[in-house]
Amino acid sequence: MLHIDSTACSGCGSCKKVCPHGVLSIEQRKARVKVEERCIECGACQLNCPEKALTVQKGTGCLFIIIKEDILKLNSGACACG
């Protein structure tokens, strides 16, 4: 699940650039969730947001990342399968 704090968002576009699945867009200088169902919850957008405006809550996203981060305790920061 994604949450964008539009007040904090500066519209820099970093989240859109790093998203491997084209989930996000920038509209009227604010990040927007375009196709949430494509999100694999990799966390790259959150890690690369300079304003800390974006949060990703893990649910049923990418199994590769869940295994890597939650089970193996490796902090990858991005999905390698996208």
The reply on whether position 65 binds ligand SF4 by CB under 6 A is: no
Lookup: tokens for 43:
């966390």
Q: Which of 3, 49, 58, 70 binds ligand SF4 (CB under 6 A)?
A: 49
| Range list of H helices, 1-82 | 14-18, 44-47, 63-65
CA dist 22 and 52 (Å) reads 20
**Minimum distance, C-beta of residue 67 to ligand SF4, in the bound complex (Å):** 16
- 55: part of which helix (H) or strand (E)? strand 54-56
Query: Among residue numbers 14 through 33, which ones bind ligand SF4 (CB under 6 A)?
Result: 14-15, 18-21, 23-24, 31
**Minimum distance, C-beta of residue 55 to ligand SF4, in the bound complex (Å):** 10
